[in-house]
Amino acid sequence: MAWLRSFWSGLPAEGRWLLAVVAAQTLGRGLTLPFTIIYLREVRGFDLGVAGALMALVAVAGFAATVPTGRLVDRYGARGVLLGGQGAMAAGCALLAFAAGPWTAGAALTLIGLTFGAALPAFNTMIAAVADGDVRQRFFGVHFALMNLGIGAGGVAGGLFVDVEAPATFAAVYLAEAATALVAMAVLLLPLRRLRGRAGRGAAPGAGRDPAPGPREAGYRAVLRQPAARRLAAVTFIGVLAGHGQFQVGIPSFAREVAGVSTGAIGLAFAVNTVMIVVLQLPVLSAIGGRRRTRAMLVMGGAWAGAWVLLGLSALGAGDLPPGAGPGAGAAVATAGLLAFMAVFAFGETLLQPTVPAVTNDLATDHDRGRYNAVNAAAFNGGAIAAPAVAGLLLGLDLGAWYVGLMAAGCLALCGLALALERVLPPEANGVPATAAPGAR
């Protein structure tokens, strides 16, 4: 706790208000995130194909928004872009609350997706405007822990409130999410009104900024010519494809249809993931401070590969068990494997979130930071689009073992990508001072 108090006291006021924006956003998001597919299927009565296509609109719209968002952030500042994104979120959630037909729901989910496409580059740029160095890395980690805490708390509250037999309860949680977006907008308009969110132009005092206005903002081609930027984007894409992107479709489908885990156990597993992130994030941040960020990515890839092996073993509960095993042994093995997967995977997540965004912003200059963050966001959204397609294809063909093997192989590939990134990454961007780089761990 002393570490957290030191971090909090060392933040400028703008940094504390940014965390307030995170709290408002994620609490509102948690109210609806686990229940949108249920709302579309069981409340609005859309068939599975239509509901799946509507859910895909969120990722597609987010991916499409990243390129223009990066340009807008670099030209006009992140605060205005984030304001626009929160306005779109409020409108999308309010519209979804009353979406009786698929076209209205599609428009609402597209607005929500545009928000996600704008939020990642804009918010990461605003963080870079108020913190640098090790404080920046810690901010990204605290941001991730707070985000999980907010989504977890919102999910519990939403689960206790919504009822498919009472459609008005779903309308209420979507309107509540719209209200939290308005709260975030109020913080951006009032306490953060002086923070443009572009380091070097209206940034907080002491934040990293160029000594003088630099050249005209670099285009995406210039960013992608940098080997470090390309390799970092590859880390993000594979990390989402074999990691975060599997949480909505692949992991619950494998657990339910291959391992035979109960829906209650799946809900418990997601709660374990959230709790582990909240508990582990601060100690992990303390442990990786001053160390090479690429080595943290290396450990993350290994941990995730091991987690996928644990998930594969959970399927033993659906197969043959040793003679003498009790009637409930299969379910116990499957549930234990899933819970272990979620716990180990959470540890890897606490290594990913403080490192990749920090590397992205330490590679960037004040004049192309929006584009660097947009490239990383595009890689994230690309992985989010590919992940359910890969999971659906393999699990639909009853290739559960191949699915787990491919995901584990992808996580091992992350280890190789981390080492390849380390070879081209400046020491400062890798989290160690240049003078300490030769002997840094």
Residue with tokens 């401070």: 289
Give me the percent of the chain exceeding a pLDDT of 70: 88
The dotted CATH code for 221-320+327-432 is 1.20.1250.20
Secondary structure letter of residue 191 according to DSSP = T
- Model confidence, pTM: 0.79
Q: pLDDT, tens digit, for every residue of 267-298?
A: 788 788 888 988 898 889 888 888 899 999 99
CATH superfamily of 12-204: MFS general substrate transporter like domains (1.20.1250.20)
pLDDT at 211 over 90: no
Rounded average pLDDT over 363-381? 89
Rounded average pLDDT over 87-91? 96
Cα 202 from Cα 317, distance rounded (Å) = 58
Cβ atoms within 10 Å of 314's Cβ, excluding its own: 25
Rounded average pLDDT over 31-38? 79
What is the structure's pLDDT at 434?
Answer: 62
Secondary structure letter of residue 200 according to DSSP = T
Is the separation of the CB atoms in 355 and 301 below 8 Å?
A: no
Split at pLDDT 50, 70, 90, the class of 145 is confident
Cα 70 from Cα 375, distance rounded (Å) = 8
What is the structure's pLDDT at 255?
Answer: 85
Burial of 323 (0-12, 13-18, 19+ CB in 10 A): exposed
Q: pLDDT, tens digit, for every residue of 319-364?
A: 554 444 444 567 788 889 999 999 999 999 999 888 999 999 999 8
Here the contacts of 388-397 (C-beta below 8 Å, separation 24 or greater) are 388/56, 388/245, 388/248, 388/249, 388/250, 390/241, 390/250, 391/246, 391/249, 391/250, 391/253, 391/254, 392/249, 392/253, 395/250, 395/253, 395/254, 395/257, 395/258
- Of residues 402 and 389, which shows the higher confidence score? 402
pLDDT at 258 over 60: yes
pLDDT at 14 over 80: yes
Cα 351 from Cα 287, distance rounded (Å) = 10
Cα 238 from Cα 303, distance rounded (Å) = 15
Rounded average pLDDT over 83-88? 93
Residue ranges matching CATH 1.20.1250.20 in the chain: 12-204, 221-320+327-432
Among 35-49, 76-90, 210-224, 239-253, top mean pLDDT goes to: 76-90
What letter represents residue 56's amino acid?
A
Rounded average pLDDT over 167-196? 91
What is the structure's pLDDT at 237?
Answer: 96
Give me the percent of the chain exceeding a pLDDT of 90: 35
- Of residues 348 and 256, which shows the higher confidence score? 348
